[in-house]
Amino acid sequence: MTSAILPTYARYPLAFEHGEGAWLTSTTGEKYLDFGSSIAVTSLGHTHPHLVQALTQQAQKLWITSNLFEIPEAETLARRLADATFADLVFFSNSGAESVELAIKMARKWNTANGQPERFRMITFQGAFHGRTLATLAAAGNPKYLDGFGPAVEGFDQVPFGDLAAVKAAIGPQTGAILVEPIQGEGGVRAGAREFIRGLREICDESKLLLCFDEVQCGMGRTGKLYAYDYYGVAPDILASAKGIGGGFPLGAVLATAEAAKGMGIGSHGTTYGGNPLAMACGNAVLDVLLAPGFLEEVSRKGLLLRQCLAGLAASHPEVIEEIRGEGLIQGIRVRVPNGDFAAAARAEKLIVIPAGENVLRILPPLIVSDEEIREGVSRLEAACRHFEMAAASQLKEHGAGG
């Protein structure tokens, strides 16, 4: 039967029936080790008992009332996020793109509130991904995703990632903010250097610009810190969060200082679903686990173990692996074979990894992954490497026989 779904994805011929922790079971009954976490979304693995309990308990009480009323569960989550971060205020949305979109709007409104509405432009970075709305596409400026959708939203100036001199040169009288994904996920797990991220903070302070972080992918514990800004040791003024924050339930959040949010008064923004009690139950349950004493330290430790195992893999398979990069439990393997082929070879070994830019494979295990599962995953990656080495060896043989 032909699919009635809009064909915007080239899907793998594989579907899953249930999941538990770091494991997925396919509709044909095969078990896969999930080192993709639904693209950094299932931060606590599949069907985490604490999340299932929080979601089902809330499902029996109340799903949604709209933002015309007070939502105690949202008050709680916003307060907890503010207390745990640089932020004073939080807005809840349903996705990453919506969160980045609000970050952009908020930055523009801040400049307007300062009496400088002409400073609506934002400096952004090549290789970033910010979502699929018209403004977030324009922010990232990837021509592949903008093609055919009419004029791009005005106001974004892309410069090379990591290039502070280019940032300084791009600042003009209309520049009001900088938007950066500190560790580019879709772009190929490119982590900004510490001097670069700190340099952006200095530039923003000097030129009175707002610094906005897109931590939709690299946030929520991936680096071993609640947010990556803490790993870098500089706070943004606005931060967009999503993906792992709901543990699998659609949830996004924008975190901001009171100063950065000062233009956002009553009526300036809104959402039908954002902050609904079901999403809030999941968000609160995720934070229960992430903020429990010792949890993030464990993520750091497991990140180091993963990194060591991957470095060993790269050392023993230099023909297939070019480079390992990333931080904590967001690691990238740059391969010398097409990354889509490598992901397919990994799937043949019953391991899920996710292709990204620069011919990289993203390794994003759930934060609850065990040491044993890390070693198992890397041994499956090793089997995938051997697949390409054997293919290369047999090709050599064929050539030899022919010559």
Ligand X SMILES: *Cc1c(COP(=O)(O)O)cnc(C)c1O
Residues with a known catalytic role: 129, 214, 243
The single-letter DSSP state of residue 31 is E
Stretch that binds ligand X, among 214-222, 267-275, 334-342, 346-354 (CB under 6 A): 214-222
Could you say which of 46, 121, 130, 380 contacts ligand X (CB under 6 A)?
Answer: 130
Residues 248, 47: contact at Cβ < 8 Å? Answer: no
100 binds ligand X (CB under 6 A): yes
For ligand X, which is the closer residue by CB, 36 or 131? Answer: 131
For ligand X, which is the closer residue by CB, 222 or 302? Answer: 222
Could you say which of 95, 124, 276, 339 contacts ligand X (CB under 6 A)?
Answer: 95
**Closest-CB residue for ligand X?**
96
Stretch that binds ligand X, among 55-63, 128-136, 228-236, 364-372 (CB under 6 A): 128-136
Stretch that binds ligand X, among 57-65, 127-135, 253-261, 358-366 (CB under 6 A): 127-135
Could you say which of 34, 73, 214, 327 contacts ligand X (CB under 6 A)?
Answer: 214
Site residue total, ligand X (CB under 6 A): 15
In sequence order, the 6+-apart residues with CB closer than 8 A to the CB of 338 are 359
Q: Other C-beta atoms within 10 Å of 53: how many?
A: 12
Q: For residues 242 and 250, what is the distance between their CA atoms, to the nearest angstrom?
A: 8
Token pair 């609000």 is at which residue? Answer: 102
Cα 308–Cα 36–Cα 223 angle in degrees, nearest 5: 50
Phi, psi of 259 (to 5 degrees): -60, -50
- Between strands 23-26 and 16-20, the pairing is antiparallel
327 binds ligand X (CB under 6 A): no
- Between strands 89-93 and 252-256, the pairing is antiparallel
Stretch that binds ligand X, among 113-121, 143-151, 209-217, 361-369 (CB under 6 A): 209-217
Could you say which of 34, 73, 186, 373 contacts ligand X (CB under 6 A)?
Answer: 186
73 binds ligand X (CB under 6 A): no
The four Cα atoms 365, 217, 292, 236 give a dihedral, to 10 degrees, of 150
97 binds ligand X (CB under 6 A): yes
188 binds ligand X (CB under 6 A): no
- Indicate left, alpha or beta for 338 from its phi (over 0: left) and psi (-120 to 50: alpha): beta
Rounded to whole angstroms, what are the CA distances from 123 to 106, 139, 169, 247?
15, 8, 11, 31
236 binds ligand X (CB under 6 A): no
129 binds ligand X (CB under 6 A): yes
Q: Which two tokens stand for residue 127?
A: 């290789």
127 binds ligand X (CB under 6 A): no
Stretch that binds ligand X, among 179-187, 223-231, 271-279, 346-354 (CB under 6 A): 179-187
For ligand X, which is the closer residue by CB, 242 or 345? Answer: 242
Strand order in 156-159's β-sheet?
89-93, 252-256, 238-241, 210-214, 175-180, 121-125, 156-159
Could you say which of 158, 175, 217, 257 contacts ligand X (CB under 6 A)?
Answer: 217
For ligand X, which is the closer residue by CB, 103 or 385? Answer: 103
Listed residue (251, 324, 334, 355) closest to 35, CA to CA: 355
279 binds ligand X (CB under 6 A): no
Q: Scanning residues 31 to 70, which ones bind ligand X (CB under 6 A)?
A: none
Residues 385, 346: contact at Cβ < 8 Å? Answer: no
Residues 30, 1: contact at Cβ < 8 Å? Answer: no
Q: Which residues bind ligand X (CB under 6 A)?
A: 95-97, 100, 129-131, 181, 185-186, 214, 216-217, 242-243
